[in-house]
């Protein structure tokens, strides 16, 4: 009876009655999505809560509150040039909570932190920042209906022309709250005995507290069709996807593509694959047509369980394309190489999970001595223009672990070719890190980061060096002291500054 009532409510809900079901594939770019998305989202959330109720009760839950108190001396709080420095003493009182849930049909992770900054010399600088990271993976109907969702709230500097600090201690006028949300339900089903299909709808929203940035939302639909099992050494996959992106006070964008992927496995170690498709994109571009046919051919080689190499070569509307992925993990060290080309934008980087886990050579998360939580790092840098750009990235990394030390080095290069004005930005960077487990309760760590940005009207060099010593007092308390030096050299005096900080902190968890 409940399911009949629920189905009746869904089919008679006003926004759904207005849809043209004969053209349901046009849903993602139909204007009714934009007009009714708030009502439809409310309805969808109510339905998902009902479907998730049994999974929530069956999951194992843990709540871990904590409080971090710290004192920081900073010698250049406004990130001014060397002749106009102002120092200050900053007190932080940051409560946080971590919520996790794990069950057969549910995985949830949520971390919230309230950063409160109190400046001794200038109380007018006092501020509070909300920070949130959450992710959800759930089964709504066993083996049929699933949902992925994520939310991120952070503070970021959006333009590379603005002053950039580490964290929120530096007093700058261009910092913006960035809220990124994503919800993606999908349905898996079989077509007969030999085919399997996945239909996925995704909605995401990126909004800024700074009025100079453009808020946006997007809706997309994708369909995947593949056989239930490989046909001997052969396998294939059909894909179709479409996404409409809506901006405030700017022309909307559209992406659509369809492709066929065929793979052939020569042996357990060697395989080949090929992709052929067509794409139709609509956005501001100097090109006559950002659309057309595309293809790529690739191979993968897995000589052992610890080594993997894959590469592709092909062509898209913007030229030849290449990709490479190499990973090797030994007992105490690991290597990695990668290269990729893609279409991206400022909102695409914001809507991605920007904070990734830092992994040691054994595949375990590196623990931050200040928070005793997994250490995270940001993978994106401020984007010069709010346009679509062709992104080409290459990275190389190496890490090693001994009984008491962990060390690593990574280098990268990234090129951004903006489609709207033809400007090309190039970014180069490297990071060197080393940590030493001094004793069972004490750890010392140090790192150095270098980044250089070459742009049409401005070159920029960014250097950061840090060192910290942490001690675990007992099971629920830890303390640390850290030093950090930030140096930036730009073409203008406004973007040339240094900043030094020393921080003592105490963290208590329950």
Task: Report the CATH number at residue 252.
Answer: 2.40.170
* Tens-place pLDDT, residues 243-256: 999 998 888 999 99
> Does residue 7 belong to any structural domain of this protein?
no
Give the DSSP H/E element, type plus range, for residue 51.
helix 31-58
Question: Is the predicted pLDDT of residue 4 greater than 70, yes or no?
Answer: no
pLDDT for the residue 173 = 80
> Does residue 305 belong to any structural domain of this protein?
yes
Candidates 166, 130, 133; CA nearest to 149 is 133
> Does residue 23 belong to any structural domain of this protein?
no
Question: Is the predicted pLDDT of residue 508 greater than 60, yes or no?
Answer: yes
d(CA 322, CA 263): 18
114 or 347: which leads in pLDDT: 114
Question: Is the predicted pLDDT of residue 380 greater than 60, yes or no?
Answer: no
Q: Which domain holds residue 97?
A: 59-509
Q: Find tokens 């942490």 and name the residue.
A: 470
> Does residue 318 belong to any structural domain of this protein?
yes
Angle, alpha carbons 474-434-167 (nearest 5°): 75
> Does residue 208 belong to any structural domain of this protein?
yes
Instruction: Report the b/e string of 93-113 with b at 16+ CB within 10 A.
Output: ebebebeebebebbbbebbbb
For range 102-120, the mean pLDDT: 94
> Does residue 148 belong to any structural domain of this protein?
yes
> Does residue 156 belong to any structural domain of this protein?
yes
d(CA 215, CA 207): 5
The pair of three-digit structure tokens given for residue 270, joined into one six-digit string: 């060697």
CA 335 from chain center: how many Å?
A: 22
d(CA 361, CA 396): 14
Candidates 129, 108, 106, 107; CA nearest to 117 is 129
The pair of three-digit structure tokens given for residue 480, joined into one six-digit string: 């640390």
Contact status, residue 369 vs residue 376, Cβ threshold 8 Å:
no
Q: Find tokens 């250089």 and name the residue.
A: 452
* Tens-place pLDDT, residues 139-192: 999 989 999 999 999 888 877 777 878 789 998 887 889 999 999 999 999 988
> Does residue 185 belong to any structural domain of this protein?
yes
d(CA 69, CA 178): 25
Q: Which residues contact 351 (CB under 8 A, 6 or more apart)?
A: 180, 182, 204, 206
* Tens-place pLDDT, residues 354-371: 444 444 444 444 444 444
For range 495-510, the mean pLDDT: 93
* Tens-place pLDDT, residues 390-434: 999 999 999 999 999 999 999 999 999 999 888 999 999 999 999
Contact status, residue 74 vs residue 90, Cβ threshold 8 Å:
yes
Question: Is the predicted pLDDT of residue 45 greater than 90, yes or no?
Answer: no
Contact status, residue 388 vs residue 420, Cβ threshold 8 Å:
yes
Residue 101 confidence class, pLDDT cut points 50, 70, 90: very high
Instruction: Report the b/e string of 158-179 with b at 16+ CB within 10 A.
Output: bbbbbbbbeebbbbeeebbebb
The total number of structural domains in the chain stands at: 1
pLDDT for the residue 287 = 84
């Amino acid at each position: 009876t409940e399911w009949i009532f629920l189905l009746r409510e869904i089919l008679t809900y006003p926004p759904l009655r207005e849809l043209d079901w004969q053209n349901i594939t046009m849903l993602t770019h139909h204007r009714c999505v934009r007009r009714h998305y708030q009502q439809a989202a409310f309805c969808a959330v109510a339905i998902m809560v009902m479907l998730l109720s049994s999974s929530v009760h069956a999951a194992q839950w843990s709540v871990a509150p904590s409080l971090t108190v710290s004192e920081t001396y900073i010698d250049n709080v406004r990130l001014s040039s060397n002749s106009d420095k102002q120092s200050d003493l900053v007190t932080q009182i940051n409560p946080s909570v971590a919520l996790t849930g794990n069950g057969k049909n549910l995985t949830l992770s949520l971390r919230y932190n309230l950063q409160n900054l109190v400046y001794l010399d200038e109380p007018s600088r006092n501020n509070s920042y909300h920070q949130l990271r959450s992710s959800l993976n759930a089964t709504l109907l066993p083996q049929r209906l699933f949902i992925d969702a994520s939310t991120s709230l952070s503070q970021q500097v959006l333009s590379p022309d603005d002053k950039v600090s580490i964290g929120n201690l530096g007093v700058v006028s261009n910092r913006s709250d960035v809220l990124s949300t994503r919800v993606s339900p999908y349905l898996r089903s079989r077509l007969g005995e030999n085919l399997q299909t996945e239909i996925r709808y995704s909605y995401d929203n990126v909004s800024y507290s700074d009025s100079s940035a453009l808020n946006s939302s997007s809706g997309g639909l994708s369909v995947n069709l593949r056989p239930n099992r490989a046909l001997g050494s052969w396998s294939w996959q059909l894909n179709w996807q479409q996404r409409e992106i809506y901006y405030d006070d700017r022309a909307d964008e559209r992406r659509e593509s369809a492709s066929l992927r065929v793979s052939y496995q020569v042996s357990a170690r060697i395989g080949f694959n090929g992709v052929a498709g067509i794409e139709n994109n609509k956005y501001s571009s100097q090109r006559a047509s950002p659309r057309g046919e595309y293809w790529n051919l690739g191979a993968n080689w897995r000589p052992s369980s610890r080594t993997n190499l894959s590469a592709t070569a092909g062509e898209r509307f913007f030229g030849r394309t290449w990709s490479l992925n190499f990973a090797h993990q030994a007992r105490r060290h690991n290597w990695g190489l990668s290269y990729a080309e893609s279409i991206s934008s400022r909102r695409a980087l914001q809507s991605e999970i920007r904070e990734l886990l830092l992994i040691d050579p054994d595949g375990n998360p590196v623990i931050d001595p200040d928070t005793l939580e997994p250490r995270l790092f940001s993978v994106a840098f401020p984007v010069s223009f709010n346009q679509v750009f062709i992104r080409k990235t290459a990275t190389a990394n190496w890490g090693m672990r001994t009984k008491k030390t962990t060390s690593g080095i990574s280098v990268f290069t990234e090129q951004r070719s903006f489609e709207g004005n033809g400007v090309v930005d190039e970014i180069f960077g490297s990071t060197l890190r080393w940590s030493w487990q001094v004793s069972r309760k004490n750890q010392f760590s140090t790192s150095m980061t270098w980044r250089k940005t070459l742009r049409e009207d401005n070159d920029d060099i960014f250097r950061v060096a840090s060192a910290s010593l942490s001690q675990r007092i007992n099971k629920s308390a830890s303390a640390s002291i850290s030093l950090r030096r930030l140096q930036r050299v730009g073409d203008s005096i406004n973007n040339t500054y240094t900043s030094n900080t020393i921080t003592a902190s105490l963290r208590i968890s329950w």
